[in-house]
Amino acid sequence: MADADVATRSPESDAQENVIPGDTPAQTGPTMGEHCTSDRPTPAGLAPKGELRKLGGVDVYLTKPESYPSNPSKLLLLLSSGTGIKSTNNQIQADKFAEEGFVVVMPDLFGGNPAPNSSLVPDAETGTSFLDRIKLKAAELAKSLVIDEWLARHTEEKVMPILEKVIDTCKSEFADAVGNGGGIYAVGYCFGGRYVLLLASERGQVQRGWSGFQKPADEEAGEGAGPVKKGPYIKAGALAHATLVSPDDFQGLKVPVSLVCVESDPMFPDDVRETGEDIMSKESVEHEVQVYPGVPHGFAVVGDYDDANIKDAQITAYEQILRWIKEH
């Protein structure tokens, strides 16, 4: 295979070719692609402009327009892939929105524990012998197990309280930006994409304490321990090549959402997307869905590709998201 082919292939295409016989998505469960755990090369000449700091006790990457606070801005949450807030590419992606007039807060969704870079798991050299093929498949299985273990530590029950803390603090520290935008906007990539849907919805939840245990009824000020309505937390949202999304995540949506999707994406299957579109249409949720053919999962995040089609799609996807949040 030519070097150019390797540079422009989706990481998931390698995994699909090396699936152990008998494995299926139903057997292995939801997981993430390699893009969600490692970055593409950073384009030459680009470097982050923001800062790492605490916000509501949560580590965040904060980047602002050069003219802020002299000129009015809006508040945008950027929810990253598993590579987290210290990823140079994620930081540059946040800076791009700051250049368009947004105060951008990218919270650490993982409590200082970003996804393990699966490329650091030793790979077997590709060869033609039966032993080499067994070694390669064993290495792929090891990668999958490492990611699955990490996902088990970063569930909705852990991530949503982090987002609630950040949102509450933003409403006070950046009240001008929140007020100027009439609310908070959110953009999510890969792992973060699903949480845009959750922030955009109104859901009935059992009242629980921070520990996750249900509170006794007498602690609920007479409200009991039954379902309570929470959300939506944002005014509008956009998500690109989300992972770990289920049809249920489209239930209860209350604000406009834009979806950047990859054609035949194993991380966000067509049937899940189509079911989501049906739900949004039936519930009269303002939405748009653009499916990009011939691009890998993760293409919309800043990163260098040799393929001109992927480069162009990356620009178009950013323009789609930017237009959506500016129009809403």
Q: Which residues of 303-326 are buried (b: 16+ CB within 10 A; e: fewer)?
A: bbbebeebbebbeebbebbbebbe
| Contacts of range 248-252, beta carbons closer than 8 Å, 24 or more positions apart | 249/194, 249/197, 249/198, 249/201, 249/276, 250/197, 250/275, 250/276, 250/279, 250/280, 251/201, 251/203, 251/279, 252/201, 252/202, 252/203
Sheet holding 257-262, edge to edge: 51-55, 58-63, 102-107, 74-79, 184-189, 236-240, 257-262, 287-292
Q: Between these two residues, 209 and 271, which has the higher pLDDT value?
A: 271
Q: Which residues lie below 8 Å from residue 58, measured CB to CB, with a gap of 6+?
A: 107, 108, 162, 165, 166, 169
pLDDT for 221 equals 47
pLDDT for 224 equals 52
- pTM for the full predicted model: 0.80
Q: Between these two residues, 287 and 22, which has the higher pLDDT value?
A: 287
What domains can you pick out in the chain, each with its CATH number?
3-327 (3.40.50.1820)
Percent of the chain surpassing pLDDT 70: 74
Return d(Cα 50, Cα 58) in angstroms, integer.
Answer: 16
pLDDT per position as a tens digit, 289-323 = 999 999 999 999 999 999 999 999 999 999 999 99
Is the CA virtual torsion 87, 93, 99, 105 positive or negative? negative
pLDDT for 116 equals 83
46 burial class (0-12, 13-18, 19+ CB within 10 angstroms)?
A: middle
pLDDT for 154 equals 77
Q: Is residue 173 very low, low, confident or very high in pLDDT (cuts 50, 70, 90)?
A: very high
SS3 61: strand
DSSP 65: -
pLDDT for 215 equals 45
Pick from 209, 248, 254: nearest CA to 231: 254
Return d(Cα 78, Cα 186) in angstroms, integer.
Answer: 6
Pick from 35, 119, 19: nearest CA to 300: 35
Bridge partners (DSSP) listed for residue 186:
77, 237
Q: Are 227 and 220 in contact (CB under 8 A)?
A: no
Radius of gyration from C-alpha coordinates of the chain:
20
